[in-house]
C-alpha cells in the first residue's frame, strides 16, 4: 500500500475485518482517519456487504466517488469457511445467544454429513435468522428479537454453488461454502442440523472471497489507517 490516496476519485480498499467489531464500526475507524487527514468535515466511505461481529474476513470498502460502485461488489458471489457444531441449537443460529436445545449425535455418520452437504447445492429459498439485519415494518429483525417480540421473516431466493466438507471432528465440522449474495451462513448451519434430524449452530465464520477479491490480499484496519496517515492526498480538481 505505497501509493498516494486518490481523494477525488476514491479508493477500493480490501480490509480483513477482525472479530467482535461491526462492519459499520470498521468503516468508521477508517473514516475518522480520512477526515483527519483531509481536514474535511465529511468524507464518503462505505462497505459492500455486512459481516456480523462474530465473523471475520474480507470487507470491501469504497471511498469518495468509488462509493457509487458499491452495488457492483454487493452482487458478486461470496465464499466462506465456517465451523458448524452439531447437537445443539441457539435462537440466533450462532454464539450470540445461549443454547436452547441439545440433541444426541451418536448415530450421525460421515456419510450422513457428506450427503447432507451435497443436498444444499443449487437454487433454493432460505429463511433468514430472526437475529438478522432484515427490516420488518421499518425495524431491524434483531432489535425485535432481542426485545422478545415475535419476528416473522420472509425467505430469500439464494444459490449455493459449492459446499465442501473440509474436516469432521464431531461435534464440529468445517466447511467451505461458495454462494450467492443474500445467503445467511447461520441459516445454513441451522438447516444442516434440521436435515440431519438433529440440531446445529454456527461457531466460527470467515469470509474468504467476494468475486475475484481474496482476503489474502486484504489489510488490517491498522494497516489501512497507517497507509492513510503516510499518504499524500491527490488534490481535488
Query: With contact defined as beta carbons under 8 Å apart, do 51 and 59 qualify?
Result: yes
**From CA 208, how far away is CA 163, in angstroms rounded?**
14
Q: The C-alpha cell of 178 is what?
A: 461458495
**From CA 110, how far away is CA 120, in angstroms rounded?**
16
Query: With contact defined as beta carbons under 8 Å apart, do 87 and 171 qualify?
Result: yes
Query: With contact defined as beta carbons under 8 Å apart, do 89 and 201 qualify?
Result: yes
Q: Identify the burial level of 169 via C-beta atoms within 10 angstroms of its C-beta, where 0-12 means exposed, 13-18 middle and 19 or more buried.
A: exposed
> Looking at 2, 9, 16, 52, which residue is catalytic?
52
Q: Are strands 135-136 and 122-126 parallel, antiparallel or unpaired?
A: unpaired
9 is catalytic: no
Q: Are strands 213-214 and 156-169 parallel, antiparallel or unpaired?
A: unpaired
**From CA 30, how far away is CA 10, in angstroms rounded?**
14
Q: The C-alpha cell of 150 is what?
A: 415475535
Distance from the Cα of residue 130 to its chain's centroid: 16
Write out the catalytic residue numbers. 52
Amino acid at each position: 500500500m505505497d501509493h498516494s490516496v486518490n481523494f477525488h476519485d476514491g479508493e477500493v480498499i480490501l480490509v480483513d475485518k477482525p472479530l467482535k467489531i461491526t462492519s459499520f464500526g470498521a468503516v468508521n475507524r477508517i473514516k475518522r482517519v480520512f477526515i483527519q487527514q483531509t481536514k474535511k468535515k465529511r468524507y464518503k466511505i462505505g462497505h459492500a456487504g455486512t459481516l456480523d461481529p462474530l465473523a471475520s474476513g474480507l470487507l470491501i470498502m469504497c471511498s469518495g466517488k468509488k462509493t457509487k460502485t458499491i452495488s457492483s461488489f454487493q452482487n458478486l458471489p461470496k465464499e466462506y469457511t465456517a465451523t458448524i457444531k452439531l447437537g445443539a441449537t441457539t435462537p440466533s443460529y450462532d454464539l450470540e445467544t445461549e443454547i436452547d436445545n441439545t440433541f444426541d449425535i451418536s448415530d450421525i455418520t460421515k456419510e450422513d454429513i457428506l450427503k447432507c452437504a451435497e443436498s444444499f447445492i443449487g437454487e433454493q429459498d432460505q429463511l433468514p435468522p430472526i437475529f438478522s439485519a432484515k427490516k420488518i415494518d421499518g425495524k431491524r429483525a434483531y432489535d425485535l428479537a432481542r426485545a422478545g417480540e415475535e419476528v416473522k421473516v420472509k425467505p430469500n431466493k439464494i444459490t449455493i454453488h459449492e459446499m465442501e466438507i473440509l474436516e469432521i471432528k464431531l461435534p464440529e465440522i468445517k466447511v467451505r461454502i461458495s454462494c450467492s449474495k443474500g445467503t445467511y451462513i447461520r441459516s445454513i448451519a441451522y438447516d444442516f442440523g434440521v436435515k440431519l434430524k438433529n440440531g446445529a449452530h454456527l461457531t466460527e465464520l470467515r469470509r474468504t472471497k467476494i468475486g475475484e477479491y481474496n482476503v489474502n490480499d486484504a489489510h488490517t484496519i491498522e494497516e489501512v489507517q497507517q497507509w492513510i496517515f503516510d499518504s499524500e492526498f491527490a488534490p481535488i480538481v
